[in-house]
Amino acid sequence: MNHNPVGWFEIYVQDMTRAKQFYESVFQTKLEHLQTPADMPVELWSFPMIENAMGAPGALVKMADGPSGGNCVLVYFSCVDCAVEAERAVPSGGEIVQAKMPIGQYGFIAMIRDTEGNMIGLHSMQ
């Protein structure tokens, strides 16, 4: 394989307004509405994307009967210091599942739960 194995990620939500506010607050960014065909009953808000940059783009997704929570996939967001984003989760309506902890030569991780019941990972080298 000569490319990054993950090309896109989706985080399914029930309440898009609440979820969008959570992610924008925790990561101090703005999500962008993605247009979909009129016959496709889905709402997508993407995280900022940089073409040809390292990492995978992705979006929050709301659709009828779409699953949220349960975590069949865990997405890790890259951070400068994962403790900072973890601390923002609580006042943003989420919770800290695992505070920042070392993972040896690979840096540090923390895990938080968003307002929709999804657990996400945070990774940093410091």
pLDDT in tens, 55-96: 888 889 998 777 777 666 788 999 999 999 999 999 999 999
**Residue 71, pLDDT score:** 61
Q: Which amino acid is at 112?
A: I
Provide the 3-class DSSP secondary structure of residue 49: coil
Alpha helices (H) in the chain, listed in sequence order: 16-27, 82-89
Q: Which amino acid is at 6?
A: V
Q: Which of 116, 115, 120 is CA-nearest to residue 94? A: 115
List the domains of the chain with CATH numbers. Answer: 9-124 (3.10.180.10)
What per-residue string of b and e applies to 100-119 under the rule 16 or more CB within 10 Å gives b? beeeeeeebbbbbbbbbebb
Q: What pLDDT band is residue 5 in, cutting at 50, 70 and 90?
A: low
| Residue 20 CB neighbour total at 10 angstroms | 19
30 pLDDT exceeds 90?
A: yes
**Residue 73, pLDDT score:** 74
Measured CA to CA, the distance from residue 10 to residue 48 in angstroms comes to: 13
pTM of the model: 0.82
